[in-house]
Amino acid sequence: MGVREADLKARRAGAWRKVALALAGLALVGGCAVGRQPAAGTEEASVPARIALAPFIDMARVYGEVQSVRSPLTGKMFVTGEMAPDVADLLTAETERFLHDQGFEVVSPEAVGSVMETLSAGSDQPPGERGLIMATARQVEAEAILVGYLYRVHGRQGGRFAVRQPASVAFGLYLVHSPSGRMLWSGAFDETQRSLTEDLFAVGEFIRRRGEWVSATRMAVDGVRGILADFPASPGGAETADTL
């Protein structure tokens, strides 16, 4: 009798392990597509060696918080919200470091931002609109410009293992060919951390974050690094891909 009970317990434990592995596998499969949206035809498109990098644009400052806002370049909807301080600068610096590491010649965010601000002052278009982006790139003599739109970086309220309100982050990154206005690549991140009881498909993220509720800043940095993992890595000619 004792042997049978032990055998039954072993079988049950094995079954639970299989269920856990299956759930984790589903979570990882589903998670791969979240937040990453490379433009159609990216694989065939070459990216210019010289890229103008615009500072991340705070869309909550432009349109206000808790507003449904369309991406100026793709039309995708995002909800704006509270913005943690200095995150725009942090993500801009992270992106600039990535481009340098990949061998691109980068027109600095400071130079690009200064030109964009000057052009915006003489225009009725909000910062980051398509026309201003392309004019800025031409002004700094870059065939491509990478611009980021930051919609919200809402800080976590609570501790590492219990929260009243989780971190929530949303932004998009877009690489535009300035002579033609075509998009060479794009990526977006829109996430509010959920517990396993809310979303079983969050198993992969739950394990990666060691069961912790993370800060909005960490989520934002992880998000931009994940998106940039799909960025075209080889500088080349200026053949273009998907149209805006």
Looking at 1-10, 52-61, 181-190, which range is the least confident one? 1-10
Is 122 in the same domain as 14?
A: no
Kindly state whether residue 241 falls inside one of the protein's structural domains.
no
Cβ-based neighbour number of residue 93 at 10 Å: 14
Kindly state whether residue 148 falls inside one of the protein's structural domains.
yes
- Per the structure, the complete domain to which residue 7 belongs is given by 1-33
* Separation CA 140–CA 154 (nearest Å): 33
3-state class (DSSP) for residue 188: strand
Closest CA to 62 of 54, 53, 52, 72: 72
Q: Provide the number of structural domains found in the chain.
A: 2
Kindly state whether residue 242 falls inside one of the protein's structural domains.
no
pLDDT in tens, 120-135: 888 777 767 888 999 9
Is 6 in the same domain as 104?
A: no
3-state class (DSSP) for residue 150: strand
Is 17 in the same domain as 122?
A: no
Is 158 in the same domain as 209?
A: yes
Task: Look up residue 129 and give its amino acid.
Answer: E
End-to-end, the C-alpha distance of the chain in Å comes to 71
What's the chain's average pLDDT?
A: 75
Kindly state whether residue 243 falls inside one of the protein's structural domains.
no
pLDDT in tens, 25-56: 333 333 333 333 434 334 445 799 999 999 99
pLDDT at 18 over 70: no
**Which value, in Å, is the radius of gyration of the alpha carbons in the chain?**
22
